[in-house]
Structure 1
Amino acid sequence: MTRVGFLYPGFSAEDDYKVFESMLDGVELPVVHTLMREDAHRVDALLDVGGGDVLSEGAGKLAGMEVDAAVWACTSGSFVFGWEGAREQVRGVREAAGAPASSTSFAFVHALSQLRLSRVAIAATYPDDVAQRFVEFLSAAGVSVLSLASHGIATAAEVGRLDPDEAVDFVITNDHPRAEAVLVPDTALHSADLIEPLEALLGKPVLTANQVSVWEGLRLAGETGARTGPGALFRAGSAAVTSALAAH
C-alpha cells in the first residue's frame, strides 16, 4: 500500500482526497490539517499560511505516519512565495517529513510537463491579484498563459461550498480556444467528480489542484505507471517527468 501524505490548510475540500483514494487502487491519502490563522485569499494571509513554522509542524506529523511522499496541498500558499521561495518550502517539508516532497504549484508544472503541454487557460477562484501570482509562477517554468479568469472568492471556506454546477460553468466559460489545457488552481475546490465531465465538455485536459497534488504525490512515491484515475493526467502516468524543482 502506497501512502502519500498531504499538508492541507484549514478545512474546505479535504474530503476530496478520500474521493481520489476511492478512485485509485492500492493507495492511502492521509491529510494533516495545518494552521490557518486567517482564511483569506490575500497575499499577506497566504504568506502566513505557507510559513516555515506552520509547514514544519505539519510535516513532522506526516513523519510519524511513515508516508512514502509528502505534498504541501495549497496552490496559493506556495506560488505567492515565488519560484525560489516555493522551492525552500518544499525543502523544509522534505526534511521535516523525512520523505520526498513537493507542492501543488510544482505539481501543476510537472503535470504539464508530463502531458507535453505549454499553453493554458486558467480558471482561478481567487481574486485577480492573487491569481496573477500564479501566472508569474507558471511563466517562470516556461508555461504560456493565454487567458486568466478570476472568480474573486475571498475565502477557502466559500470555495469549498461552491455549487458543482457553478464550478463547471465557471471553468467551461473561461477556456481559451488555443489553450491546450485548463488549469483550476485551488485545493479548496471539490473537483474529483468534476474532472471527467469537464474534459468531456472541453475536449482537452483539465487539471485541478487536488488532482495534480495526488498525482504528484504518487509520482514522488514511485508510482509512475498509467492509472484509470480521473482525467487524462492519470492515464498518462508520470515516468517521463523531469522535476522542475531540480531544473530551475
Structure 2
Amino acid sequence: MTAGWLAQRLDLPLYTLDLASVMSSFLGKTGANVRSVLNHAQERPCVLLLDEFDSIAKRRDDDTDVGELKRLVTVILQTIDDWSPTSLLVAATNHGELLDPAVWRRFDVTLPFEMPALEQRAALLHSREVAAPLAEAVAAVTEGQPLSALSRAVDVARKQALLEERGFEEALITWAASSAPQSTRAARTTSKGRRDLDIYLHHCRGLSAREIAELVGTSHMTVVRVLKRLKGEVDAGA
C-alpha cells in the first residue's frame, strides 16, 4: 500500500513482484528470473515493489537454505548497487530479522511499520465496502494481520462468492476465523469476536438460532442479538 501511494505521488507505474510466489514456482531458475525482472524495471522510470523480501534476501549464514538462495542474495546486492536513479526500488518484509545485513545497508531509507490497530483494521474493511458491523467483528479477531492481508482476504472472498456460489460474508468470516491469533493473551482478547463470527458463519450455512446456540455454547437470545447486530434484519427464528 505504501508503494502504491509512492507511485501515485511520483506519477510512475507500479510493478509488484511477489517473491514468495516466484520461489515456490521457479526454484532452480529464480536467480535468472529475479535478475530479468529487476533489469526490466530499470528500462523505464517506475516503482518496483519486491514483496515478501525475506523469501530470497536471507542471511547468507543461514545453514537451512540451499545454495541457490545464498547466491540470490549476491544477485540482489549487485543489482541494487547498479540500480537506476530514475526508478524507485521498494522492498517489503514482515521478518526483517531474517534479512542479510548487507541488504539493509543497500537501502537509503528504512521505514518500520507497526501492525495495524483495531481501528485501522476496521477502517480498511470499511473502505473495501464491508458492512460496518461485519467489518468491526472481523477486525476484532485479526490482531497481528497486516492491512495488505486484510485487503487480499476481501478480494479472495469476493472471488469465492462468485466462483463457488457462496456468500461473500461466509467466505470472509471463514478466513477471519482461521486467522485469529493463537496465543493465550490474544485468544482472550478475541474470544468474544471469534464467538460472534462463529455464530454468523453457522447462520450463513442455514442453521437456526437454537441450533447455533447449542453448537457455540451460548443462549438463544445471545445468538439472535449477535445476528441482528452483524447483519441487521435477519431471519433468526428458532
Question: Which structure shows the bigger proportion of residues in strand conformation?
Answer: 1
Larger Rg over CA atoms: 2
The TM-score, its normalising length taken from structure 1, stands at 0.30
Greater RCO (CA < 8 Å, at least 6 residues apart): 1
The TM-score, its normalising length taken from structure 2, stands at 0.31
